[in-house]
Amino acid sequence: MNDLYSNTPLIESLSVGAGLDARVWLKLEAMQPCGSFKARGIGFACKKYLEDGATSLVSSSGGNAGLAVAHAGRLLGTSVTVVVPQTTKKRAIDLIKREGAEVIVHGKNWDEAHQRALLIAQDKAAYIHPFDDPPIWEGHISLVDEIYKTGVRPDVIVLSVGGGGLLCGVVEGLKRHTWHDVPVVAVETVGADCFSAACRANEHIAIDGIDSIATSLGAKKVAKRAFELRNEHQIYNYVVSDKDALDGCNRFLEDHRILVEPACGASLSVVYNEADVLSDRQNIVIIVCGGVGVTVTQLKEWNQLFLE
């Protein structure tokens, strides 16, 4: 069997945050075979549930999570069903099907697709949550293990937050390597800022709806564990505009010839814009989370939209 994820490069960037008096490192999760870091946690969870007796896998994400489940299922030789809402783009469905998964289009929105997926999961199929499950976080830890092995000691880690699965995994990883004092900048976009909203309210609340082009950050409520982590670890909330996230994508494509989703451009923009929280750091590590929900055509459309 192939590994369910790749060990990704950590490369230094002389372009991103060039004006900062720091070395900037890119953890290139965009290089994962399924296009995002989700390969790690989701691959780990899929393997675990199959070992525990599940005979098939179910997901309700038309995005990177669904693709990661399909990818893991193919490598593990297990059937996968992905239920997606009617709003899902054909390209996303094609990518999932190409991994050999069955795609069921059901419901007007994610909640309805999710309910159907739970029904399917009642028998022997394991439902794989996109972010809110301890095995997912455990799987994401490998990302920090790899940074640790390079010998680069981060003074700050910049990452994007949707439901907070990546955040939970990275903070667990920092703890594992006794990097308790390494703060995390948790980046969201306006309209997909459920973590920041909950932190501001000091209560584990949900936001009313999602309104951002960074669709991979579109969770209404952050995982409870992520919310709790703010009392255990130094986490800075950071919310950027869609325009900033898009600029992050454009500049990164220009500088490093890698196309990423706005969900990822959001984190990059914080470093490009030399946010105050990054001053006086020697080594800045950005998790370049990646994402397949972007094409050159789509990027052009977004750029048109924001020119108006």
Task: Please report, as ranges, the residues that interact with ligand PLP according to CB under 6 A.
Answer: 36, 38, 64, 130-131, 160-167, 216-217, 219, 261, 263-264, 289-291
Shortest Cβ 282–ligand PLP spacing (Å)? 26
Taking each helix axis from N to C end, the angle separating 165-176 and 134-150, rounded to the nearest 10 degrees, works out to: 50
Residue whose CB is less far from ligand PLP, 65 or 83: 65
* Amino acid letter for position 146: E
Backbone angles phi, psi at 156, to 5 degrees: -165, 145
Shortest Cβ 160–ligand PLP spacing (Å)? 4
Residue 137 Cα distances to 45, 109, 230, angstroms: 9, 26, 16
Residue whose CB is less far from ligand PLP, 22 or 272: 272
Burial 25-54 (b: 16+ CB within 10 A, else e): bbbbbbebbbbbbbbbbbbbbbbbbbeeeb
- Taking alpha carbons only, the member of 252, 253, 254, 258 closest to residue 270 is 252
Shortest Cβ 197–ligand PLP spacing (Å)? 14
Shortest Cβ 138–ligand PLP spacing (Å)? 13
Shortest Cβ 78–ligand PLP spacing (Å)? 22
Residue whose CB is less far from ligand PLP, 154 or 165: 165
Shortest Cβ 27–ligand PLP spacing (Å)? 13
Report d(CA 205, CA 227) in Å as an integer.
Answer: 10
Token pair for residue 167? 């955040």
User: Which residues are paired to 290 by β-bridges?
Assistant: 36
Shortest Cβ 113–ligand PLP spacing (Å)? 16
Rg (the chain; Cα; Å): 18
Token pair for residue 300? 């052009």
Contact between residue 189 and residue 238 where contact means Cβ atoms under 8 Å apart: no
Residue whose CB is less far from ligand PLP, 45 or 289: 289
The residue behind tokens 């301890």 is 134
Residue whose CB is less far from ligand PLP, 43 or 164: 164
Contact between residue 284 and residue 17 where contact means Cβ atoms under 8 Å apart: yes
Residue whose CB is less far from ligand PLP, 116 or 129: 129
